[in-house]
Amino acid sequence: MVDVILGLQWGDEGKGKIVDFFAPNYDVIARFQGGPNAGHTLYVNGEKVVLHQIPSGIFHKGIVNLIGNGVVLDPVTLKRECEKVASMGVNVKENLFIAQRTNIIIPTHRALDKAAELAKGDEKIGSTLKGIGPAYMDKTGRNALRVGDLLDPEFNKLYNKLKAKHQQLLDNYNFTEDISAWEAEFFEAVEFLKTLNIVNGEYFINAKIAEGKKVLAEGAQGSMLDVDFGTFPFVTSSNTISAGVSTGLGVAPNKIREVIGITKAYCTRVGSGPFPTELFDATGDELRKIGNEFGATTGRPRRCGWIDLVALKFACMINGITQIVMTKSDVLDSFAELQVCTSYNVNGKETQEIPFEISKVKIDPVYKAFKGWSKPAADCRVAADFPEQMNTYLAFINEYLGVEVKYVSNGPGRDQIVTL
């Protein structure tokens, strides 16, 4: 069977650490969507490592790691990651596999991303400019190059055809970018990529399932960035929710068992778009400072706010969440009072539903206040050590969501995850 781990907010919930924590219980870790805009942070032997495309189980010996067809892959980023991982003693050619149907990001995708974002002016989405949106557009437009195409003797011809199409679009934007250095890196990385394990992904993973192997599907970004159900148009270009596992790996829905959702004890967002509980005061600054809230991929400061249970319950519903992991509970240690958003006031009407176009309506969050906890959560190693106020906070969230928080992460270390 297949279990799923994904984010329930706007990404940056700490998925990398949690996948790394669960990984020893699985035989296969498979990434099912997203691109190199993801940044999954791990601490391996005290060293910080950020993975953008390689699944977060790569540091566990004997575990197979699969990049699925739902991913858009940047060969240059992958090569760098592989070199970093290899320098830490991991043989990527032994336990990293890539699906043939995985789409490839080429240099002109990055140029198109930049051109499109500049053209939006004040209505920028907040793209990381890594070519992800244009790569997914080529996928739905049936123009994309895929990993399996790398083995085609006429790959260069296919590449130049797609590049020419992109150049026409760039001309329409009246935009020029010198991609010669990017292309040199790209073709060098392509040669490296050819030396890795390229497999027929859907047959590969279903064979593992048939053998009784345990599979953990790893998502990128967060549910509120889903291209269909997120805060459109300020979303990513893929399905970040559990339904994306089936299309992103070739796994039937009836093979999915547990869906594990990850949420912070508060809320953050990077880039543009609506964020109902965002704080613009000293409290927001304090959350950012204590939580070290800066993007793992971009380094951009994250917008910070209180936990939003309206959005969280919506995410639990559309994903079919069966259990929750709460991260960064220790960040709240120093706050005397905590706020929890329990409903929205939308144009004068109170609701617990996400509006259709959340970016076009005025939302005033309705809060319920809770006492903070005086005892540092970071010091707790078992649930019995949690302060009473923290248990009250968790109990309310469990009741509101109708799904239980089963694990609480209270620090960056692998040992700082408490099972409830």
Known catalytic residues are 12, 40
- Interhelix angle for 155-172 vs 107-119, to 10°? 10
Q: Which two three-digit tokens encode residue 379?
A: 């010091």
CA distances from 201 to 15, 31, 142, 348 (A): 23, 11, 19, 50
Taking Cα atoms as reference points, which of 33, 104, 92 lies closest to residue 57?
92
Q: Hey, how many other C-beta atoms are within 10 angstroms of the C-beta on 409?
A: 25
Q: How far is it, in rounded angstroms, from Cα 15 to Cα 6?
A: 7
State how far the Cα of 402 lies from the Cα of 323, in Å rounded to an integer: 10
Strands 40-44 and 47-51: antiparallel
How many whole angstroms separate alpha carbon 224 and alpha carbon 231?
6
β-pairing, 323-327 with 405-409? parallel
Cβ pair 117, 127 in contact under 8 A: yes
CB 279 within 8 A of CB 268: no
Pairwise CA distance, residues 71 & 102, whole Å: 6
Give the whole-angstrom CA distance, residue 28 versus residue 44.
Answer: 19
Residue pair 135/144 in contact by the 8 Å Cβ criterion: yes
Is the peptide bond preceding residue 233 cis, with omega within 30 degrees of 0?
yes
Q: Could you tell me the two tokens for 240?
A: 């970040």
Closest CA to 221 of 18, 13, 81, 22: 13
278 vs 90: CA distance, rounded Å? 40
Report H helices in 302-343.
309-319
The long-range contacts involving 410-416, CB below 8 angstroms and separated by at least 24 positions, are 410/328, 410/329, 410/330, 410/377, 410/378, 410/380, 411/330, 411/378, 412/17, 412/43, 413/43, 414/17, 414/20, 414/21, 414/43, 415/381, 416/330, 416/378
